[in-house]
Amino acid sequence: MNPNNAGGYDQKSPPPPMMQMPMPTVQCPPPAGAVPGQWTTGLCGCFEDPSNCIITCCCPCITFGQNAEIIDRGGTSCVVGGLIYYLLAHVGVACLYTCSYRTKLRGLHSLQEDPCADCLVHWCCIYCALCQEYRELKNCGFDPSIGWVANAEKMNKGAATMPPMTQGMGR
């Protein structure tokens, strides 16, 4: 290490590479008793997760940002998604943006467009829709409140703890 270098590494050496988190592919298995292709909770089941219901009622940009980060697999940060929601809500068109994430979520988990078109659900019941999407992500094993990186680490740790495949003893 060069003592004259305040950066902590020799200027001739490149900085250490950033660790990239592999994006696990997650197929959401329906919970026991659920019908494949259908939402695991109803649109009006907001009180199944009371804390998320309260957060969504007081500040829907938080719930939307958390959902968007998980649905986009980290491509949209919680802060950016929430800020876009906040700005669009002030001109009354947030539902035009948020409904696209409902469509993405349905595509990722093969869910039906229920009870009606995604844009109509978000236009009429945006708070209920955001809560339902949050619950769906939770029921698929994600925790939207901790962000994509923490969820990916949790899933990768789960995959790393699986016992290695061993072959029979050779002679």
* Average pLDDT estimate for 136-157: 92
Contacts of 9 (CB under 8 A, 6+ apart): 1, 15, 16
Q: Which pTM does this prediction carry?
A: 0.75
Share of residues in the chain with pLDDT > 70 (%): 72
Q: CA-CA distance, 24 to 86, in Å (whole number)?
A: 30
Contacts of 77 (CB under 8 A, 6+ apart): 65, 69
Rg (CA), the chain: 21
pLDDT at 145 over 70: yes
DSSP element (H, E) containing 106: helix 94-109
Contacts of 7 (CB under 8 A, 6+ apart): none
